[in-house]
Structure 1
Amino acid sequence: MKRLLTYFKFNKTEQNGFFIILVIIVLFFTIYALLKTNTMDTIPNQAKLFEQSFHDSLELSSSTKKEVENAAHLTNNESEFSVNPNNILDEGKLFYFDPNGLPHADWHKLGLSDKQIAVLKNYENKGGRFKQKTDLKKIYSINDRLYRRLEPYIRIKAIPDTAITKEQRRTPLLYDKFERNTAELIDINSCDTTALMTLKGIGSVLSKRILKYKDVLGGFYRIEQLKEVYGVPAETYDLIKDHIIVSSLDGIKKININKVDATSLAKHPYLSGKDAKLIINYRDQHGNYVNIEDLTKVGTLSDLAIAKIAPYLIFENDSR
């Protein structure tokens, strides 16, 4: 027995090491137990949240549907309806309103951002007025989805005859100029920033950026090239594409492919520095290019890249 006990005798260093290992083991099991408890609690909590949000969405959808159905049966006399707290729906967001002179806070309740409200107020400050529901849709900060949401609740008060007469005599404002200019086609290669700013969605910054890109390109040969301008999203392009033309290609700046150097050629947006060097190296090794088809012999240029750069190239022989 004494011999067996000798195996359980430890010196001072061994005792300290054993104590430290024991503490580490206890901490490990404690942390593991806590993590396991938290993980188990998370799942039922998430399930409860999901179930609650699902039921809330069903109730909200049902409430909204009933209000829209009620709005559809309103008579023409209700066009005199004014905004007041009693008209606010249960969801606290949509209510019947006249967009003319609507306070900033009420636009907020309808779900509009400060930027959208600023555009509306700017229109009003310049003398603009909404005469019918669809006028609200003409404001570029009001997208189709937002308009469809607000449309059933728009109630525009009738304007007295005296007010109409006064409005007809007022000086035409910027918004009126925009409405007239939409029927005029703008030549993208000869217009200035003022003309571009009459287009819906184009401001001073974007108009300058378009003209700068035109200069870098050497001129536009298709209106689709506007999509390449930084800051022109698909929505803006769709708004302006029917009001822009390229009337002539005579003003496009041409690059003589048989005289240009690699550095100058690389400045064009459609060619990289590597592409420009390969084009010039091939010309130096095999002689001048005769036509656009010769560029296919370079090998590294894609058909798309060649098609895009083609309108900007000429193939006059080098006189050297």
Structure 2
Amino acid sequence: MYKGLVQYLQDYFGISRKEARGALVLILLCFLMIWMPFVFRRWVLPLMPLRSAPPPRDMLDSLANLLEKENQQKFRKPKFYPKKYKEKITRSGRLFDFDPNQVSIAQMEELGIPSFLAKRINKFRSKGGKFRKKEDLLNIYDFPSTMYQRLEPHIVLAGTAVAKRPESAENTTLVDPKKRYPDKSSYSKPSKPALAAFDINTADTAQLVRLRGIGTKLSLRILKFRDALGGFHSTAQYTEIFGLDSLALAELNRYAKVTSEVKKLNVNIATVEELTAHSYLRNKKIATIIVNYRTQHGAFQTIDDLKKVKVIDEATIKKIEPYLSF
């Protein structure tokens, strides 16, 4: 049974025998992990004695009430600022005109701005920040709107706007903005290059990833399967690639054509390792029997001679026939 499962995984996924054994062990471990909690609760847990009796219901109710009271007390506390903090924010100071981009920390405190906000403004300026309009002060974290309304008439910003160049009749170098750029209608949308048919046996990943439903990983899997075969001899072999959905399969059938010859394997001189490297002859036992039969009975002349090796079924011979030479 074990050998049959390994052979099935090997044929289904197109992997080596070692990889098939690893996959079988992984499947068994996953199955064990899924069913372990159920087995533990159903048969193991009832056999384990309780170390202590469960607490009485009255004790649980009292603990629940105590936790509920503590939570209520927590939510009653002020969320944002304590009383002293609010007093600091709302305190008044001497008002005078100032530029927020140049005013010092001491002058801001004199205006009634709390020390922590003055330091925050200074830190904002030291990192390259700049106040371009009065409302930018409100972008400082926790800056109160009431304080801004009190200071707003005294905020004086240095003018940053550049005076516009006056237009005159003598100035002929000015260009009409409407004529500066071409009309939108003159732009043409770039068209995607049309996909063309290509030879699957000489294609690379760049050609495969252009097809819908095929990404980088899937394109590498297709090329790995192709190289292990020695090339595709028919588009019907696309269905043997693991992970292809209907969209990717339709795209391959439409654009990936078989135009070049496959790589032949001389069955009369191939070693066991060369035979097992082929995707259709992964079974090392069958490859060894083929080599031994050839040694005992002489070279194979036709495909009918290979059919005399009883361990090879008719389906495998039909699949491997295009790749063999005698």
TM-score, length-scaled by structure 1? 0.42
TM-score, length-scaled by structure 2? 0.41
Q: Which has the higher contact order (CA 8 A, sep 6+)?
A: 2
Highest CA radius of gyration, 1 or 2? 2
Q: Which has the higher helix share?
A: 1
